[in-house]
Amino acid sequence: MSAITFQPLYIERIWGERKLETIYNRNLPDPTIAYGEAWEIVDRENAQSIVTDGTYAGKSLNDLWKNHRSEIFGDALPDSEHFPILIKILDCSAALSIQVHPPAHLTKELNGEPKTEMWYIADALPGAKLHIGLKQGATREKFEKAIADGSVADLVHSITPKKGDSLFIESGRLHAIGAGFLIHEIQQNSDTTYRVFDWNRTDSNGNARELHIEQSLACIDFNDIEPELQSTDRNTLVACPHFITTLHHLATGETIANPDPDHFSLITVISGSLNQIHPKGQTILLPKSSAPLCASEQTSVLQITIPI
């Protein structure tokens, strides 16, 4: 079976830019819009990845997941109504809000979805910062006071990553992306985000964006103090119950295949190209028992699998 590719969905965001066009040579739908997100792999009620060509051209990811699961994905996978992974590319020209996603044990109470995710830094301006976890000495009491007086940023830990770094964001971890990043995000299939602080920004009418203070305080892990970036000297970047992400650097002519031929994987091309037709930035579904993909040049890829 051949590799399967999908048409990305482009989402306008107030913090977006046009790096998808300049770095990945994408033909964006509207030349006047700043697109903050490309949803590369998505299976939600209001958003579907559609196969671009081949045997399954025109079919949705949900159709493949429901009606062709064994032949494409393999067996012993999660018995879920929707494909369990969502992959995005984030183009951040301005800082995102400081936010948190709900842990699984709180989702029913808060009427949300759990969201554990990871970031791979595809590009970063010098000095660009990620905001992650809390500083030493921060407590819930101090945090609540900071919400009231607008000084939340003073309690949030910041790090300065470089291109090629990665970071794991488990549900409950406070986080925000600063300005100047292009990031590949691998996450649970969820769109629940609680904003706790938006840098005291207002729109042209003096209105602030909606915050979710009560939900955020219920979700934040106040013991998550000054977390660090993932180690850059290992192949496996993240191994959690929801996904496993590995980084591979391929020489010209070297191939990559599913680690288990009876199950699928997702391949995101970070740099270089595969099979001369899959350029950097593209995410590919490699069905079970499919032929390996070959590096057309020096190529780096992320490979994402679901734990069985």
| Nearest residue to 158 (alpha-carbon basis) of 180, 178, 182 | 178
The 3-class secondary structure across 86-110, one letter per residue, is EEEEEEECCCCCEEECCCHHHHHHH
Residue 60: DSSP 8-state: B
Q: What is the DSSP string of 222-286?
A: TT-BS--PPPSS-SEEEE-SS-EEEEEEE-TT-EE--SSTTS-EEEEEEESEETTTEETT-EEEE
Tokens 């993909």 belong to residue: 293
- The answer to whether 59 and 51 have CB atoms below 8 angstroms apart is yes
Whether 26 is catalytic: no
- Give the span between the Cα atoms of 274 and 271, in whole angstroms: 10
- Give the span between the Cα atoms of 27 and 152, in whole angstroms: 39
**Which member of 69, 195, 209, 234 is catalytic?**
195
Tokens 């740099």 belong to residue: 271
Side chain identity at residue 123, one-letter code: D
Catalytic residues: 195
